[in-house]
Structure 1
Amino acid sequence: MEQQKPLSTVTMAFTVVAFLIFVVARAHVTGIELPLWPRLMCALALSLLVAAIPRAPSTFVFGLIGAAYVVVLQIGVMINVTGVEQPLYWMLPAGMVVPICAAPLWLTPRHFVLGTIAFYLAGIPFVFAVPFTHDDWVLCAMWVAIGIPTATTFHFGFYWFRLNHFLLEEKLTAQAATDPLTQLLNRRAFLEQAEQMLARPRIGGEIVSAIFLDVDRFKSLNDQYGHARGDDALMQVTQVIKDAIPPEAIAGRLGGEEFAVLVPAAGPHYVTELADSLRIRIAGILRPDGFLTASFGVAHRRDHESAISLLDRADEALLRAKHAGRNRVFVERACSVARVRATAIDEDIDTNPHGANDLEAGGNTVRQWGAFELSTHFQPLYSLSHQKQVGFEVLLRGHDHEGKPVEPGVLFAPQSNPDVTELDSLTHHLHFDNARRHVPRDAWLFVNVAPSTFIQAGYEQTLSNMAVAAGLNPGSIVLEILESDGVSVEELALAAWRYRGCGFLIAVDDFGAGHSNLDRLLRIQPDFVKLDGELIRAKSRASDQPLLSTIVALLHRADMLVVVEGIETTEELVLAVESNVDFAQGFLLGRPSASIPVPDAVMRRIDHAFDVIAEGRSARASRFDAQLSPYLAMVKAAAAALSNGAAIGDAIAPMTALALCKRCFVLDHTGRIVGQEFVGHAAPNGDFRLGPLLATQSARWDHRPYYWKAVANMGTAVFCQPYLSLTSGRASVGVTMALLRDGKVMVVGSELDWTSPHLAWPAVE
């Protein structure tokens, strides 16, 4: 009906105009002066009915307006032909045209039938008032015989066409607003409806709250078990949401495994309880390796707040929930930092040849290189611990003669880049000149150098002279050796030694990508290592734990400072801080720009990341202690039994029944197994990948932390950080306790399977 209203309004309004023209024609042709007020009253009534069509609240009212319209039109036509000779002939055009074209394009077939009957019934007084001859009756018969079938054919044909058109339009509109998998609102439609909900006045202290939820470890579900399993999990989550939320709430899938719900409620507690109810229901959904879980963030709308701002605060609470161990509901904090999600990674552009021409533009030096104009952009690097800008990477940008950015493929085309060293030299002149004007004296300047240029004999002195001429100290310049497969590691290592002699610092770029491997680092011994962004997302296969902290710890042991590139989301920033990364750069912290960015907002974002980590560390520690508590208690009981003279088997056998126990053992003062090892409930049945290591009778374990920590804390049950078990190849936690028996040291303990994603991991020591 809403789609039909504009069309009917136009056709009916045009018919009012046609009626007035009919009145003018009647007066002009007959030359008889007419009383206008009855005709104008009909025109006014028709106009009012036309104006009522857009406001029709239902199909019944719409049809009633249409029927009244044709009746009034019929009456007006009859009034207009009164007093003329052969009124039938004046009436004939209206009688033919009105049912066919001038009717209000009936909304339903029932409307058409009733409206047509009303139209002809309204003409009965005219029929009885006119003296009919035989020819007139023939003419009327022809009028009815032609008018009714034609009107029927026209209206039903148009009705069929219109119905299919409108149904298709509704289908396309629904598809544009609906997520194709879950049939929930997509992001665009959800935000539109959210703004409409927020614009409505609230009654009786009602507030609108947002629930943002993210399915935990969804990527691992897709990667390990296929996208069909992932789609099925999303459908089950969708059904849980539909069943649980109230009718007045709106729900949408904002992308991937992220869902949002907007709920108008009488108070905040109801929404928090609703989120926890959703969490519990989702935790009952099976996945091949256990149960599905989701993390939730809840935020309550503040005065005059937009939907985007409300969702940002709920998203920030969700981030804290995930970092605290997942499968939990977190409510917004009083003050929070909005999350920023960048969508692309800027590329470092090094440019191309044919002579240089200095220009000045906007306070920055630019250079003409063939058909391209080259300029310097700066991207900041931040010390996460110091929470300050400590350096800037200088990046080359190129534009054509029209000022349009030049794609890297064009800049690096072989025909325009015959001499990489010449281009590097030009670029370094450009960057040093611009850095002298913009970069603070106490900040590092990170400069890219092609490996082929880096190994050129004497270029270290050339570069040093360039820096001094530009007023820069070589000690504040970090040379980034780009990844390349055409230069040997030996050449790079010797060249790095020469550059250090001139005072430069050395960095290896994109470690973890291409040919940049660990051997390259150990040979070159750079001051900085810039990790490729993909290493941020690297995780262990079984436990799904990030590997970044382990990589950083390895590089720190090799006396190298670590820079992580490509920080694009708050989650990645939090992971970088938690992994003890020294420096970070990326779109979240600042895009490349021709000027130096103001760091205040980034400082708040980094500080926020520290707050999230502190809160999450506390939550995970409490959860880890709770999960480990029964195993520590069982180790104490086993140690007490051994101290009282119980047999080893009798003392440790109860531990094997616990859910996470893989193996139980007693070690002597040399760390060797006493008696035999007992297989626990979580032992990998039928897994012979590490078959040669299953026999542990000759093994010695006194070098393991779970042994020497127990000996150092005699009489106290202890645990160690998760480690890779040599007997099962899985992440494990050792719980042990040392005791004296017959004057000799013994360590009783158990190895626990710690691969389940539902288990908390303690903070790295």
Structure 2
Amino acid sequence: MLSTSTKQLSDSGLRDRFHKRSLEHQRPLSTVTMAFTVVAFLCFVGARNLVDGPATPLAYRLACALVLALLVMAIPRAGSSRTFGAIGVAYSLVLVAGLALNVSGVEQPLLWILPAMVAIPICAAPLWLTPTHFLVGSAIFYAAAFALLFGEPRTHDVDVVVWMWIAAIGIPTSAVFHFSFYRFRRNHFLLESQLAQLAATDPLTGLQNRRAFVKQAERRLDAMTPDARVSAIFLDIDSFKSLNDHFGHAVGDHALYQVAQVLMEETAADDSVSRIGGEEFAVLLRDGLAGALALAERLRGAIAVIERPDGHLTASFGVAEHRSGESIMVLLDRADEALLRAKHSGRNRVCAERALPLDALKMLSADMLAEGETVAPRHLWDDYYLTSHFQPLYSLSHQKQVGFEALLRGEQSDGTLVPPVVLFAPKPSSDEGALDRASHAVHLANARKSLPGDAWLFLNILPATFIAEGYADQLAMIVRAVGLEPERVILEILESHGGSVDDMSRAAAVYRAHGFLIAVDDFGAGQSNLDRLFRIRPDIVKLDGELIRATSHGSGQPILPKLVSLLHQAGMLVVVEGVETTEELILAVESNVDFAQGYLLGRPAAEIARPESVHRRIDDAFDVIAQGRAHQYALFESEVEPYRSALSRAADDLLAGALMDQAFAVLATFDRCISCFILDDSGRQIGHELRGPAWSSEAASLHPVANPRDARWDHRPYFRNAVLLPGVAVASNPYLSLASGRPCIAVTLALQFAAERSVIGVEMDWSAVGLPWPAGE
């Protein structure tokens, strides 16, 4: 406070603000004081009329009062300190003139106006805005007064009294009043400015704080002209918490200060820059989206140069342009949403706001919807066109085309395709969601003209687009606008960042209410997992092409049949992508896959190819499977039959009273025999197992479960099947053995001894590549 009271208004901008603030304070006080003076003047005029002697006509004196009143009325409209000072000077001159007219004709005029000559400068002193106004105004007042009043004859005594009151009392008192009041107003303004600055400033970085930023932004938006453009940049320092946690808050504070310096250096003087809170900053600038994105990229590069103890700082940016009628908070929310996408897509990057929700609908031009148009619709995007290629999906059971996946392509004006690396390259000025929505309008317009009337259209959709507020309603409008129904459209949720499973599950219910079917793409790759499937509950699951080539460890058997069976049990139809060879097609048919897609069945193309040759190829696959199933069964039986026969002979020996080792002696010498065993009626092992040539102790990781005598096996299919067919040697399907950790087959037989029922069996090693598996496994 002490420093504030002695601070000089040396800065011209600060002085101007002080005078403007003083003017706001002085207007009401000056209006009241000067209005009261008008009333006092009228009283003075009335008192003069009570005195005899020649007088100036009353109309002249009342005219002075009218002019004074008009000047009082002009005070609230004074827009500058100069105007205010000019009104004060004019008021003083008119007042002096009125006093002179009023005392004309009295015997002692100076005695009449002596109180006014003393009181008026004293009362006016606090009203002058600046010392210059005070000195000029007072000098003019006294000069006019002496010119008009002191030419009258007067006595020596009167001169002494007048000069004593004016020089000894009036002038010193008015000077004290003015300079004291001026000093008080100045100190009050400086203190107020200092407090306002402290309240509006972030103490660490020196930038505006959030409250001041929002308030200033609101004023700027309110003052915007219709053609003005304003954009907001939201930025957040990446991994800032780790900086504080690992190196201390002092290092973190220094990083914040350095980022603030970068923002101040790179932005223009009329841009608003603020530390919103924590490690978040905001910039409001007078420019469109493209200019804001360019600035954000410069800021990103400048921040990336700042060193931190474990490398360099980076920051993520979200940019949005102000839309007509929206508040600053809505603008910042859109920029913040873009910032979150920048964070989720890898940090240290700039993302733009999402396009307006109805952009895709507006893309459906009259040309794209024209009846009878044979040329595929295209939409201009950057410096090339967007168009559609369609890849067929076949129902293997029906052996026909049932749907087409729409794939986005870019074309130059001469028809040359744009490389995917260019088409799908991330662009700060157009987020991938905008391209995603644009593709839907293009695909739907093309599908209306190209697809058969009963086929499904598979539309790829990003998770972020899928969960976008209101997009389900918009997409349904687009589908119907092109003459399709949502029931013919399958939304294929891509494997991508951008949406939580809970959000996608809720969004799926909204799309289903419109009639859309839901598919999950690329299951088996990236983040795909069963939890995601069971939460979203898609109608169709598209398996990643690599799954058709995946095999189980050891045996080399494909895992596709089991996976398809699992998904069918969960109530989901299955599409296998990436079918490229006849062998893969045969596996898909054998695995009971519902639909298949791949280069063997049809490549993506702008024109729909005739399906007859593919129908024959699928039919041939069914024939191969039908022919091979009997052969496969025969091979399997030929491998298992010797074990069945030997187990039956061992059963006869046991019933005849032979010991276990004697009964199993021959069977235990077979090459694939791991062990022979006897289980009681509850599935627990009786005695020891007799180990065969295939037994191994190498499965060290399975040591806790390697002893079969510790377990109960009546839940295993090989036990249940034997009990259902007593006296018959039955072979199980291959399974992963807990005891050996290898694919195995068990041949078992149920016997009824005098005391109880038992199940005898042999476990066979089935891990060798090339061994036949039962048909359908």
SS of equivalent residue, structure 1 residue 752 = strand
Distance 1:534 1:720 in 2: 29
* Contact 2:364-2:445 at 8 Å conserved across structures: no
Distance 1:497 1:455 in 2: 11
Name 2:281's counterpart in structure 1.
Answer: none
Name 2:702's counterpart in structure 1.
Answer: 690
1:669 aligns with 2:681: yes
Distance 1:745 1:363 in 2: 77
Name 1:524's counterpart in structure 2.
Answer: 536
- Superposition map of 1:170-181 within 5 A: none
Please state how far the C-alpha of 1:645 moved relative to its aligned partner. Answer: 2.4
Q: Name which of 453, 464, 470 aligns with 2:476.
A: 464
Distance 1:436 1:576 in 2: 31
Q: Name which of 693, 708, 724 aligns with 2:736.
A: 724
* Contact 1:376-1:397 at 8 Å conserved across structures: yes
Please state how far the C-alpha of 1:437 moved relative to its aligned partner. Answer: 2.1
* Contact 1:357-1:369 at 8 Å conserved across structures: no
* Contact 1:738-1:748 at 8 Å conserved across structures: yes
**Cα-to-partner distance string for 1:575-626 (whole Å, 9 max, x where unaligned):** 1111111100111101111122211000000011111112222211111111
Q: Name which of 634, 640, 647 aligns with 2:659.
A: 647
**Cα-to-partner distance string for 1:671-720 (whole Å, 9 max, x where unaligned):** 11112122111001443221111222231101111100011011111011
* Contact 1:357-1:367 at 8 Å conserved across structures: no
1:617 aligns with 2:629: yes
Residues 480 and 417 (structure 1), Cα distance of their counterparts in 2 relative to 1, 3 Å cut: farther
Please state how far the C-alpha of 1:416 moved relative to its aligned partner. Answer: 6.8
Amino acid across the alignment from 1:499:
Y
**Cα-to-partner distance string for 1:641-693 (whole Å, 9 max, x where unaligned):** 12222222322232211100101111111111112122111001443221111
- Superposition map of 1:33-44 within 5 A: none
* Contact 2:462-2:498 at 8 Å conserved across structures: no
* Contact 2:674-2:695 at 8 Å conserved across structures: yes
Distance 2:583 2:718 in 1: 32
SS of equivalent residue, structure 2 residue 380 = strand
Q: Name which of 534, 538, 551 aligns with 2:550.
A: 538
Name 2:169's counterpart in structure 1.
Answer: none
Please state how far the C-alpha of 1:638 moved relative to its aligned partner. Answer: 1.2
**Cα-to-partner distance string for 1:160-179 (whole Å, 9 max, x where unaligned):** xxxxxxxxxxxxxxxxxxxx
Amino acid across the alignment from 2:551:
K
Name 1:385's counterpart in structure 2.
Answer: 397
- Superposition map of 1:44-63 within 5 A: none
* Contact 1:356-1:368 at 8 Å conserved across structures: no
Distance 2:708 2:599 in 1: 51
**Cα-to-partner distance string for 1:119-144 (whole Å, 9 max, x where unaligned):** xxxxxxxxxxxxxxxxxxxxxxxxxx
Name 1:410's counterpart in structure 2.
Answer: 422
Name 1:278's counterpart in structure 2.
Answer: none
Residues 712 and 417 (structure 1), Cα distance of their counterparts in 2 relative to 1, 3 Å cut: farther
Please state how far the C-alpha of 1:381 moved relative to its aligned partner. Answer: 0.3
Name 1:26's counterpart in structure 2.
Answer: none
Distance 1:693 1:414 in 2: 52
* Contact 1:542-1:730 at 8 Å conserved across structures: yes
* Contact 2:699-2:741 at 8 Å conserved across structures: no
Q: Name which of 413, 424, 437 aligns with 2:436.
A: 424
Name 1:600's counterpart in structure 2.
Answer: 612
* Contact 2:393-2:596 at 8 Å conserved across structures: yes
Please state how far the C-alpha of 1:758 moved relative to its aligned partner. Answer: 3.2
Please state how far the C-alpha of 1:362 moved relative to its aligned partner. Answer: 4.3
Distance 1:495 1:452 in 2: 11
Name 1:435's counterpart in structure 2.
Answer: 447
1:750 aligns with 2:742: no
1:503 aligns with 2:515: yes
Name 2:752's counterpart in structure 1.
Answer: 740
Residues 643 and 616 (structure 1), Cα distance of their counterparts in 2 relative to 1, 3 Å cut: same
Distance 1:734 1:478 in 2: 45
* Contact 2:426-2:432 at 8 Å conserved across structures: no
- Superposition map of 1:180-199 within 5 A: none
Q: Name which of 370, 383, 394 aligns with 2:406.
A: 394
Amino acid across the alignment from 2:614:
V
* Contact 1:481-1:506 at 8 Å conserved across structures: yes
Amino acid across the alignment from 2:503:
E
Distance 1:744 1:671 in 2: 12
Question: With structure 1 as the length reference, what TM-score do the two structures score?
Answer: 0.52
* Contact 2:541-2:572 at 8 Å conserved across structures: yes
**Cα-to-partner distance string for 1:91-110 (whole Å, 9 max, x where unaligned):** xxxxxxxxxxxxxxxxxxxx
Amino acid across the alignment from 2:570:
A
**Cα-to-partner distance string for 1:519-573 (whole Å, 9 max, x where unaligned):** 2112111111111111111111211111111111111121111101111111111
* Contact 1:733-1:753 at 8 Å conserved across structures: yes
Name 1:630's counterpart in structure 2.
Answer: 642
Distance 1:758 1:523 in 2: 39
Please state how far the C-alpha of 1:356 moved relative to its aligned partner. Answer: 5.5
Structure 2 runs not aligned, ≥5 long: 1-354
Alignment length (residue pairs): 415
Amino acid across the alignment from 2:549:
R
Name 2:81's counterpart in structure 1.
Answer: none
1:566 aligns with 2:567: no
Amino acid across the alignment from 1:365:
P
Distance 1:364 1:545 in 2: 45
Residues 357 and 622 (structure 1), Cα distance of their counterparts in 2 relative to 1, 3 Å cut: closer
1:679 aligns with 2:691: yes
Residues 683 and 385 (structure 1), Cα distance of their counterparts in 2 relative to 1, 3 Å cut: same
Distance 1:695 1:409 in 2: 56
Q: Name which of 473, 481, 488 aligns with 2:493.
A: 481
* Contact 1:563-1:585 at 8 Å conserved across structures: yes
SS of equivalent residue, structure 2 residue 526 = coil
SS of equivalent residue, structure 2 residue 664 = helix
**Cα-to-partner distance string for 1:354-395 (whole Å, 9 max, x where unaligned):** 995855684321111121111111111001011111111111
Distance 1:644 1:728 in 2: 31
Structure 1 runs not aligned, ≥5 long: 1-351
Amino acid across the alignment from 1:580:
N
Name 2:123's counterpart in structure 1.
Answer: none
* Contact 1:381-1:583 at 8 Å conserved across structures: yes
Residues 735 and 686 (structure 1), Cα distance of their counterparts in 2 relative to 1, 3 Å cut: same
Distance 1:564 1:589 in 2: 12
Name 2:505's counterpart in structure 1.
Answer: 493
Q: Name which of 382, 391, 409 aligns with 1:370.
A: 382
Amino acid across the alignment from 1:616:
G
Please state how far the C-alpha of 1:415 moved relative to its aligned partner. Answer: 2.6
SS of equivalent residue, structure 1 residue 631 = helix
Please state how far the C-alpha of 1:417 moved relative to its aligned partner. Answer: 5.8
Residues 564 and 619 (structure 1), Cα distance of their counterparts in 2 relative to 1, 3 Å cut: same
Please state how far the C-alpha of 1:427 moved relative to its aligned partner. Answer: 1.8
Please state how far the C-alpha of 1:469 moved relative to its aligned partner. Answer: 1.8
Distance 1:605 1:384 in 2: 10
* Contact 2:463-2:497 at 8 Å conserved across structures: no
Task: State the structure with more CA Rg.
Answer: 2
Distance 1:611 1:674 in 2: 47
SS of equivalent residue, structure 2 residue 700 = coil
Amino acid across the alignment from 2:582:
T
Please state how far the C-alpha of 1:738 moved relative to its aligned partner. Answer: 0.7
Residues 423 and 677 (structure 1), Cα distance of their counterparts in 2 relative to 1, 3 Å cut: same
* Contact 1:375-1:396 at 8 Å conserved across structures: yes
Distance 1:391 1:417 in 2: 34
* Contact 2:518-2:538 at 8 Å conserved across structures: yes
* Contact 2:502-2:535 at 8 Å conserved across structures: yes
